[in-house]
């Protein structure tokens, strides 16, 4: 999402749609799929004019694309019908769309609206708990714990930093502790084996 924003796809609508495309999907797949869709249509009105089949074809490499395509079209149409094409920076509105959960709502609001929301995916959850910075059993509880502990200025930034860190260094299985730059500061909670 941060990379797409840097490439100019920084509206709240684009960020929200890109996040839906990214769900359960690798970045290497998400980025070209989102770009392909936005090259064809990037406003609620433009996407609302596409058929579900056209949206589905454009995002076909994304996991669960057949479920995401009608959700994306429905979101676009609702924004046209209810909000005169201008999606408001309102968390409750975002969460009212089918297919949008707290992770995507918070990330899109953080990047597109500059609003301080923490987006906790499985990587942020795993890393923050291994550090010992929080102790929470689910991403939802990690979110609440981070909201209590983390200084506000890092609320958006933490996702941009910890998602790639969790994918490439503090991996789910056999984290690369021997090459980790913050080994001395980490409590390695729950780490029983590592590289």
Residues lying near ligand SF4 in the complex (CB under 6 A) are found at 127, 130-131, 169-170, 175-177, 180, 182-183, 186, 188, 191, 194
Nearer to ligand SF4, 30 or 142 (CB): 142
Return phi, psi of residue 150, to 5°: -80, 130
- Cβ–Cβ under 8 Å, residues 9 and 38: yes
Distance CA 63, CA 70 (A): 14
* Torsion over CA: 112, 118, 119, 123 (sign): positive
Nearer to ligand SF4, 92 or 184 (CB): 184
Closest distance to ligand SF4 from the beta carbon of 152 (Å): 23
Nearer to ligand SF4, 68 or 130 (CB): 130
Nearer to ligand SF4, 72 or 127 (CB): 127
Return phi, psi of residue 176, to 5°: -85, 60
Distance CA 80, CA 78 (A): 5
Distance CA 10, CA 63 (A): 23
Closest distance to ligand SF4 from the beta carbon of 176 (Å): 6
Nearer to ligand SF4, 99 or 139 (CB): 139
**Which residue, among 160, 134, 153, has the nearest Cα to 2 in the 3D structure?**
160
- What are the tokens at 163? 């998602």
Closest distance to ligand SF4 from the beta carbon of 180 (Å): 3
Closest distance to ligand SF4 from the beta carbon of 68 (Å): 31
- What are the tokens at 147? 């909201």
E strand segments, 8-110: none
Closest distance to ligand SF4 from the beta carbon of 178 (Å): 8
């Amino acid at each position: 999402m941060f990379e797409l924003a840097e490439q100019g796809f920084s509206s709240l609508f684009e960020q929200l749609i890109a996040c839906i495309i990214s769900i359960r999907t690798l970045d290497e797949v998400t980025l070209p799929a989102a770009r392909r869709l936005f090259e064809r249509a990037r406003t609620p009105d433009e996407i609302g004019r596409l058929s579900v089949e056209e949206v589905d074809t454009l995002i076909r490499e994304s996991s669960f694309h057949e479920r995401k395509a009608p959700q994306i079209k429905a979101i676009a149409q609702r924004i046209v019908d209810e909000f005169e094409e201008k999606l408001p920076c309102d968390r409750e509105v975002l969460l009212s769309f089918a297919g949008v959960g707290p992770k995507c709502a918070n990330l899109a609001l953080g990047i597109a609206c500059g609003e301080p929301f923490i987006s906790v995916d499985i990587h942020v959850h795993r890393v923050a708990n291994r550090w010992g910075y929080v102790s929470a059993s689910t991403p939802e509880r990690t979110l609440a714990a981070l909201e209590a502990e983390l200084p506000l200025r890092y609320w958006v930034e933490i996702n941009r930093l910890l998602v790639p860190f969790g994918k490439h260094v503090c991996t789910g299985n056999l984290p690369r502790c021997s090459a980790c730059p913050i080994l001395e500061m980490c409590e390695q909670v729950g780490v029983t084996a590592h590289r």
